[in-house]
Structure 1
């Protein structure tokens, strides 16, 4: 993927109009209108109608995805999105490429939330329809029989595998959710850990987590200024820079840093208006 990945990816229950309206004015980089786990069975049809209406109304500069259901509900979800498709469709519990819908109108984000999904992640990410992987940690922890829920140390192999596969395949990768809605320090620490692992961003379950998530992926101002100096060299290959040697890969990293800083500046302007 050449486009800059979203850092903050907020799930919004699609059957709650007030939550959708609130998310529309948030600082999230991407909103995932959720038709799956967050929506009770009795509210599925109402949620589909709400998503269709929300997509028509638009979300400004915020990227929009819709998480559809597995099984028979997926066809109904996709039909509801046909008239006004989102930017992306999130497919839950992808174990293998065959689980991906053939008739999706937009690129797919595949959720890796089972042992089979982790083991077959390379084939999933290699599918031309897939532009990103999402770590589904709640289900993965359950499938692995972890005794204490989401234990990131116990999940470290799976988390690193998702990042490795994403980088090898040239797609995005997003860290899983943090269930601690009211524990901002714990969430912030987890977001920073996800950034250090190499994830492009993190999925969120509450708007209160957006600011800390964006901060975790925001480059330090000094790093931004250094990146601008590196790019200004306009050289190729190995060269000397401020007492050390740099190569083309350092220039590429500097461009990513600048792009992230510019995105953060635009986001700040949009939310302050």
Structure 2
């Protein structure tokens, strides 16, 4: 059954921050990103993982990050750090716990059971990283595996590696996989967040990929550098023209109710157009509320 979101939460820009870097955690308090992923996995060296775990849990529980959606990315299932990560993250109570390389519905259920056993509050959701061929092929079952699942996060670097593909402008080698994850996420009513762009100096390429992600239907993009925040925020927000058109379309529909065919700017208006316009306004109002 599709789960309806009760409140729209902007996730235009979701920035990975290494939890082993105290200065990075402090800097994150002033960044305009919608979300933060306090990382215990790739960005943290093995010998730094225990203190990073403590720092991430303290940061997530602190309340110092304001309206930002704060998540903790734990180390993957089967690693020596995973169980302790899950316990610490669950007890800290962030908005979400991000788990890499989730590959099946059974793993989702295993993760949710571990979170609940560790005392994760109801508001702490599971965000599953989808980054392997097996996960892509089983993604609809993963999407419906638990009500606690709140988002898919694309791990495009690992997916490209696993497919023996190449990173190319336009992402043609992985477009079928991206679409598949979007289909499953929308079918289950959860957020879907695009993968990272690796070249922090290539602003033009980054913005082009943001535009592509928005056009495809992603809620936002994961980021690896604070300099990418502004571009992602702009790309995944409705433009002023889109907001104006949404308001005009809804007004025309309401004014023409019962009059047969309703048009706006010369185009026929149906219920599906009104629903899209209302979603545009929901996104705009949620962003303005930030």
TM-score normalised per structure 2: 0.86
Deviation at 1:30?
Answer: 0.7
Counterpart for residue 89 of structure 2:
81
- Separation (CA, whole Å) in 2 of partners of 1:255 and 1:228: 8
Counterpart for residue 19 of structure 1:
24
- Separation (CA, whole Å) in 2 of partners of 1:51 and 1:117: 27
Counterpart for residue 218 of structure 2:
199
Is 2:116 the partner of 1:110?
no
Is 2:276 the partner of 1:257?
no
Counterpart for residue 192 of structure 2:
173
Counterpart for residue 218 of structure 1:
237
Deviation at 1:230?
Answer: 2.7
**Contact 2:61–2:94 (Cα < 8 Å) also in 1:** no
TM-score normalised per structure 1: 0.91
- Separation (CA, whole Å) in 2 of partners of 1:49 and 1:90: 16
1:214-261 alpha-carbon deviations (Å, 9 max, x no partner): 111121211101212233344779851322222222222112211222
1:58-101 alpha-carbon deviations (Å, 9 max, x no partner): 21110111111112422101221243210111111011022231
Residues matched between the structures, number:
267
**Contact 1:141–1:150 (Cα < 8 Å) also in 2:** no
Is 2:61 the partner of 1:38?
no
Counterpart for residue 59 of structure 2:
54
Deviation at 1:147?
Answer: 4.4
Superposition RMSD in Å: 1.9
- Separation (CA, whole Å) in 2 of partners of 1:149 and 1:90: 27
1:174-215 alpha-carbon deviations (Å, 9 max, x no partner): 111000111111100111011111111111111100100011
- Separation (CA, whole Å) in 1 of partners of 2:75 and 2:261: 51
Is 2:266 the partner of 1:247?
no
**Contact 1:35–1:69 (Cα < 8 Å) also in 2:** yes
Distance 1:239 1:64, change over 3 A: farther
Distance 1:194 1:14, change over 3 A: same
- Separation (CA, whole Å) in 2 of partners of 1:244 and 1:256: 19
Secondary structure at 2:172 match in 1: coil
- Separation (CA, whole Å) in 2 of partners of 1:54 and 1:110: 21
Secondary structure at 1:181 match in 2: coil
Counterpart for residue 271 of structure 1:
none
